[in-house]
């Protein structure tokens, strides 16, 4: 690899954005792996895409919208049943304020 594209400090910043945490060893490993992957991705710069439109979805079709009609949703108990941290019909999280 010739130059560093992403530094360890940037890896720490991106981890913060992604709500992930790593120990020192993992940070070093990610920095080196992400650098070699990003270095390989530089290949895309060979292409002039100045006048190319980006593609987000490949199938061109009109929006399909459902009728604005009230329909039953999942029962509250079932939705809550996948968490151990439930109180009075709500999900429980640590104090925010």
Partner 1 sequence: MTLNQLTAHEAINLIKKKRITAYEIMQDIFSQIDKVDNLIKAFLVINREEALKQAKEIDKKVKNGEKLPPLAGVAVAIKDIIATRGTETTCGSKILKGFIPPYNATVINRLREAGAIIIGKTNMDEFAMGSSTENSAFGPTYNPWDLERVPGGSSGGSSAAVAADETFVALGTDTGGSIRQPASLCGMVGLKPTYGRVSRYGLVAYASSLDQIGPIAKDVTDCALVMKVISGHDNMDSTSVNLEVPDYLKSCQEGIKDLKVGVPKEYFIEGIDPEVKGALDKALKIFEKLGAKIEEVSLPHTEYSLPTYYLIATAEASSNLARYDGVQYGYRAEEYEDLSSMYQKTRSEGFGSEVKRRIMLGTYALSSGYYDAYYLKAQKVRTLIKEDFDKVFNKYDILITPTSPTPAFKLNEKVSDPLTMYLSDIYTIPINLAGIPAISLNCGYSKSNLPIGLQIIGKHFSEETILRAAFNFEQNNDVEKKKPSIKPAKHKEAKK
Site for partner 1 contains 63 (CB under 8 A): yes
Minimum CB separation from partner 1 for residue 28, in Å? 13
d(CA 82, CA 80): 6
Q: How far apart are the first and last CA of the chain?
A: 46
Site for partner 1 contains 85 (CB under 8 A): yes
Among 4, 7, 28, 91, binds partner 1 (CB under 8 A): 91
Among 68, 70, 72, 74, binds partner 1 (CB under 8 A): 74
Instruction: Find where tokens 């010739």 sit.
Output: 2
CA angle 76, 72, 92 (to 5 degrees): 20
Site for partner 1 contains 47 (CB under 8 A): yes
């Amino acid at each position: 690899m010739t130059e560093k594209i992403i530094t360890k400090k940037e890896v720490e910043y991106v981890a913060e954005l992604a709500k992930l945490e790593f120990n020192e060893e993992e940070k070093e490993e990610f920095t080196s792996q992400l650098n070699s992957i990003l270095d390989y991705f530089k290949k895309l710069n060979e292409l002039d895409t100045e006048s190319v439109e980006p593609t987000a979805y490949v199938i061109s079709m009109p929006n399909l919208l459902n009728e604005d009609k009230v329909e039953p949703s999942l029962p509250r108990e079932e939705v809550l049943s996948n968490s151990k941290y439930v109180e009075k019909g709500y999900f429980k999280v640590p104090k925010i304020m």
